[in-house]
Amino acid sequence: MRLTILSAALCLAACSGGETANNESSGGSAAVEPTPTNLIDDPRNTLVPLDPPGNGAAMSPAPLPTASPSPIAAMPADFQGRWGMVANDCDPKRDDNKGLLTIAGNRLSFYESRGSATGIRQTQPTQVAFDLPMSGEGMTWSEPTTLTLLDAGKTLVREVTGAPDRAGSFRYSRCPA
């Protein structure tokens, strides 16, 4: 039995030539998902780059949840306001602002749907998690949601879990007042 395992290990080592797959001399490289130069190239905003162009410094990763999130009655003030996926979403004169998210109280309003957050939990000073029963276009559904503030409150990342057709990560910028 030991001889069989040793023989298999030696065969594998001989086939690889003693080099690892990521060794430059082998010509291999690690698999890297391409990042768009700007999020307009990613219309569903499914890719969230860690260091977007013009940021200058690496963005810190989303904070990890605390061991025991604190239930809170209302959405914190720092999360309130208008948030856009692209600059045009923040223009109130436009009627095609499909990436606009407005947070007022515990209500989240999107282009064609809305919902009121329930079971709000503060997981970090810059992060809240909640259930979001939604309605829009004649349908109802629920989206377990986490909101995280980045860049000193200028950027909001919305993480939606649950149904695969609605799950994802969405990045917004705070609209000017």
How many angstroms separate the CA atoms of 174 and 153, rounded? 8
pTM of the model: 0.62
Cβ atoms of 177 and 53 within 8 Å: the answer is no
* pLDDT tens-place values along the chain, 177 residues long: 444 454 444 444 444 444 444 444 444 444 444 545 554 555 545 555 444 444 444 444 455 555 568 899 999 999 999 999 999 999 989 988 999 999 999 999 999 999 999 999 999 999 999 999 999 999 999 999 999 999 999 999 999 997 677 789 999 999 998
- Give φ, ψ of 116 to 5 degrees: -115, 125
| Residue of 116, 127, 112, 120 whose CA lies nearest to 158 | 127
How many CA atoms does the CB half-sphere of 119 hold within 13 Å? Answer: 10
Cβ atoms of 146 and 89 within 8 Å: the answer is no
